[in-house]
Amino acid sequence: MGLIAINNVIRKDSPIYYRHLYTGIAVVKAANNLLEAGIDFVIETNPLGIRTTNVTVNEEIDYPAQTLRKELKNAIEYLDKENRLPHQ
């Protein structure tokens, strides 16, 4: 059980250069089923260079919401650190 992948990540235009807006699809395995949910997330850099990530799950799925958001946040931060998120 848990997060399998984040697919179809697309970066949205943002007029604020220190905020990066993305959308994608989270694939989660729960009770021998693969579930998909649309997600939006924002990576923001403050003046001290500290990056924060906020995740919104757009659909209800049969999986603990708090756990899913934590797994998504960790995966997104890893992708950002490895420079594997789309750039414009």
pLDDT, position 32: 86
d(CA 64, CA 78): 21
pLDDT at residue 12 tops 80: yes
Q: What is the pTM of this model?
A: 0.93
For the segment 49-69, what is each residue's pLDDT rounded down to a tens digit?
999 999 999 999 888 889 999
Question: Which one-letter amino acid corresponds to residue 34?
Answer: L
Percent of the chain with pLDDT over 90: 83
Q: Residue 31 has what pLDDT? A: 84
- Residues 5, 76: Cα–Cα separation, whole Å: 10
Candidates 81, 71, 1; CA nearest to 43 is: 81
